[in-house]
Chains A and B, each alone.
Chain A
Amino acid sequence: GQQLNQSPQSMFIQEGEDVSMNCTSSSIFNTWLWYKQDPGEGPVLLIALYKAGELTSNGRLTAQFGITRKDSFLNISASIPSDVGIYFCAGQLIGANSKLTFGKGITLSVRP
């Protein structure tokens, strides 16, 4: 089936640094979502994007809906220890109104 590509699988950064993640596909999506999952918990929605080129912020997080509709980016600024977790992207394909396609996630570690 369709896949969203997230790489690398793991990222290690120093507290205070900015970090950027991207999510790519060969297909066109009409919605992009970014989730964060803490250990032992369910994914929590961070940001939803609905328009190509849209740039949306949520505190220190900023996400963009790629202009080609085939990718999305998430930036975390001034990282803190509680940013540790798995970050998933998800997209809704045009014509697949009921389901989301998920990336496999990026595990972020923040060194104090």
Chain B
Amino acid sequence: NAGVTQTPKFRVLKTGQSMTLLCAQDMNHEYMYWYRQDPGMGLRLIHYSVGEGTTAKGEVPDGYNVSRLKKQNFLLGLESAAPSQTSVYFCASRRTSTASEQYFGPGTRLTVT
């Protein structure tokens, strides 16, 4: 089992460019999450999904979109990147609603210039 994987690991974007971050999990987990981590701010939830085909907004959803077309994948899109979106992005997955443990990927470090 690879667990939760994220691609790419690093990316530099110019302001206004778009990109998609991919998260994949091979644990057959129902729930998936996207967080951003900034110094002094901890982990903040961007969007999440409780099952294939479903998505919901988290604490800081503005400027991001997500899709969960397949159970194992959760995509995070930035349509028009801004310097404020410079951050480290983590994906996580969780088995079901009765198991609270979330398992994290290795992260994507994004810089927007």
Interface residues of A (CB under 8 A from B): 1, 31, 33, 35, 40-45, 48, 50, 88, 90, 92, 97-100, 102-105
Whether A41 and B107, one on each chain, are in contact in the complex, defined by CB atoms closer than 8 angstroms, is yes
Whether A43 and B42, one on each chain, are in contact in the complex, defined by CB atoms closer than 8 angstroms, is no
Which 4 pairs between the two chains have the least Cβ-Cβ distance?
A42-B104, A104-B42, A31-B100, A102-B43
Whether B56 and A98, one on each chain, are in contact in the complex, defined by CB atoms closer than 8 angstroms, is yes
Contacts A42-B106, A42-B107, A104-B40 given; indicate if A99 touches B101 (C-beta within 8 A). Answer: no
Chain A residue contacts of B45, Cβ below 8 A: 99
Enumerate B27-68 residues with CB–CB distance to A below 8 Å. Answer: 31, 33, 40-43, 45, 48, 50, 56, 58-59
Q: Which of B58, B97, B100, B106 has the most CB of A within 10 A?
A: B100
Whether A45 and B101, one on each chain, are in contact in the complex, defined by CB atoms closer than 8 angstroms, is yes
Whether B90 and A43, one on each chain, are in contact in the complex, defined by CB atoms closer than 8 angstroms, is yes
Interface residues of B (CB under 8 A from A): 4, 31, 33, 40-43, 45, 48, 50, 56, 58-59, 90, 97, 100-107
Q: Which of A1, A50, A99 has the most CB of B within 10 A?
A: A99
With A and B bound together, what is the CA distance between A41 and B88 in angstroms? Answer: 10
Return the chain B residue nearest A44 by Cβ. B104
16 inter-chain pairs at a CB distance below 8 angstroms, sorted by A residue, are: A31-B100, A33-B100, A33-B102, A42-B106, A43-B43, A43-B90, A43-B104, A92-B100, A97-B97, A98-B31, A98-B48, A98-B50, A99-B33, A100-B100, A103-B42, A104-B41
Using A42-B105, A43-B43, A88-B43 as known contacts, list a sample of 17 further A-B pairs with CB atoms less than 8 Å apart, ordered by residue number in A.
A33-B100, A33-B101, A35-B104, A41-B107, A42-B90, A42-B106, A42-B107, A43-B104, A45-B101, A90-B102, A97-B97, A98-B31, A99-B33, A100-B100, A102-B42, A103-B42, A104-B40
